[in-house]
Amino acid sequence: MPEPVAAPDIAIEVKGLTKSFGARKVVDNLTLSVPRGRILGFLGPNGSGKTTTIRMLCGLLTPDSGEGRCLGFDIRTQQEEIKRHVGYMTQGFSLYRDLTIRENLEFVARIYGIDSPRAAAQAALERLGLVARAGQLAGELSGGWKQRLALGACVLPNPALLLLDEPTAGVDPKARRDFWDEIHHLATQGLTVLVSTHYMDEAERCHEIAYILDGKLLVSGAIDRIIADAGLSTWVVTGEGLDALAGELKAAPGVDMVARFGVALHVAGRDADAMARVVERYADPAHHWARDRATLEDVFIELMTRNHRSAA
Ligand SMILES: Nc1ncnc2c1ncn2[C@@H]1O[C@H](COP(=O)(O)OP(=O)(O)OP(=O)(O)O)[C@@H](O)[C@H]1O
């Protein structure tokens, strides 16, 4: 089995990463630092540059400018070393659908030059709880089992860093929970994990998060800190005619964010006094206003609204 890299305390440290495709800047001056053994959630709307960033981190793409290290290796000049020590799980299922689970794992073990591929595959099967299904074709597995297998294949070569690109998209809640338990288990063993996701409950399971919009990193850090720094005065409104009310509130001075969550509106503003005036003005018998703690999702929606407003 290849030796795990003697991981430095900082697993990812990049500065000013920039990448354009044609005239379009897809990643713009991105700076990021992830300590070893931490789980970093990488969030942002579709097309915001998450996959492109991940591909630069694992040596598959060279940035146009910027620099940095991944596991102590230079992302511009030591891409082969990085690839050897990083497990990268792409968005699509990248194993062979017409090979069995065992064959896929053995294949991965051979590609990475592991000494006893059969034994390594068997150990992975046992660890993944897939022994009984070892002879099944990978393509016949359900979404949750496919992801479990893909993660197993990713960790089989003993990487020091996992880069997971939306690993649980389309997977049911129970399988997602199991997947996250496994991620935490791996992190306690010293693995660093960067995982992109659109799910807020998953973001909340990360030690830290980074939020990217239009290629720019807008916020990063611990979730509580991000929520506190956003300084949102948040209210939840229930009652009649919420769609019409939402339209009015969006135009009201002092309101920075309005979002519908089921039978309620979340309304937030960064100026608490101005928000208090809004509540006073719109509080009527048909609507109930209650002060609430801002959620991570409130913060992201507000950030997105503000940035798109200032770009317009
Ligand atoms: N090889 C490429 N050539 C041209 N454009 C590209 C290429 N790769 C990505 N893009 C564009 O760059 C932008 C960012 O894409 P990227 O896949 O990094 O975003 P993302 O945040 O991962 O999105 P998603 O959440 O949808 O996966 C998109 O507009 C995409 O179409």
pLDDT of residue 93: 77
Mean per-residue pLDDT over the chain, rounded: 91
Q: Pick from 42, 51, 56, 90 the residue to mutate for probing ligand 1's pocket: most ligand atoms within 8 Å of its CB.
A: 51
Number of the ligand 1 atom closest to the C-alpha atom of 49: 18
pLDDT in tens, 163-198: 999 998 888 888 899 899 999 999 998 899 999 999
How far apart are the CA of 49 and the centre of ligand 1, in A?
6
Which residue has its alpha carbon closest to ligand 1 atom 28?
A: 47
- Contact (Cβ atoms closer than 8 angstroms) between residue 245 and residue 237: yes
* pLDDT given at position 87: 93
Q: What is the pLDDT of residues 75-113, one digit of tens each?
A: 999 999 999 899 999 887 788 999 999 999 999 999 888
Yes or no: say if 196 and 56 are a contact pair by the CB < 8 Å rule: no
Which protein residues are within 6 Å of ligand 1, measured from CB?
A: 21, 26, 44, 46-52
Give pLDDT tens digits for 17-62.
Answer: 999 999 999 999 999 999 999 999 999 999 999 999 999 999 999 9
What value does the mean pLDDT take over residues 212-232?
95
pLDDT-derived band at 4 (thresholds 50, 70, 90) equals very low
* Architecture per CATH, 229-311: 2-Layer Sandwich (3.30)
Nearest CA to ligand 1 atom 17: 51
pLDDT band at 312 (very low <50, low <70, confident <90, very high): low
pLDDT at 7: 53
- Domain ranges for the chain, please list them: 10-221, 229-311
Index of the ligand 1 atom closest to the CA of residue 53 = 18
Ligand 1 centroid to Cα of residue 256, in Å, is 28
Q: Which residues pair with 219 in a beta bridge?
A: 211
Q: How far is the CA of 307 from the centre of ligand 1 (A)?
A: 19
Task: Among 18, 24, 26, say which to mutate for ligand 1: greatest number of ligand atoms within 8 Å of CB.
Answer: 26
The pLDDT tens digits of the residues spanning 136-159 come to: 999 998 888 888 899 999 999 889
Closest ligand 1 atom, residue 55 Cα: 18
Mean pLDDT of 125-136: 89
Name the residue at shortest CA distance from atom 5 of ligand 1.
21
Say how many Å lie between the CA of residue 239 and the centre of ligand 1.
Answer: 40
- In Å, what is the CA distance from 263 to each residue of 41, 155, 240, 279? 28, 42, 10, 18
Q: Rounded CA gap, 185 and 112, in Å?
A: 23
Q: Is the pLDDT of residue 2 over 70?
A: no
Fold of 10-221: Rossmann fold (3.40.50)
For ligand 1, atom 12, name the residue with the nearest CA.
26
CA of 38 to the centre of ligand 1 (A): 26
> Of 72, 25, 93, which Cα lies nearest the Cα of 53?
25
The pLDDT assigned to 144 comes to 85
Note the pTM of the prediction, 2 decimals.
0.89
pLDDT band at residue 1, thresholds of 50, 70 and 90? very low
Cα–Cα dist 143/149, whole Å: 10
Mean pLDDT, residues 210-216 taken together:
96
pLDDT in tens, 253-303: 999 999 999 999 999 999 999 999 999 999 889 999 999 999 999 999 999
In whole angstroms, what is the distance from residue 177 CA to residue 168 CA?
A: 10
- The radius of gyration of the chain's CA atoms, rounded to the nearest angstrom, is 22
Q: Which of 17, 21, 196, 197 to mutate to test the pocket of ligand 1 (most atoms within 8 A of CB)?
A: 21
Residue 274, both tokens: 């101005």
Residue 289 and residue 267: Cα distance in Å, rounded? 10
Q: What is the pLDDT of residue 103?
A: 95
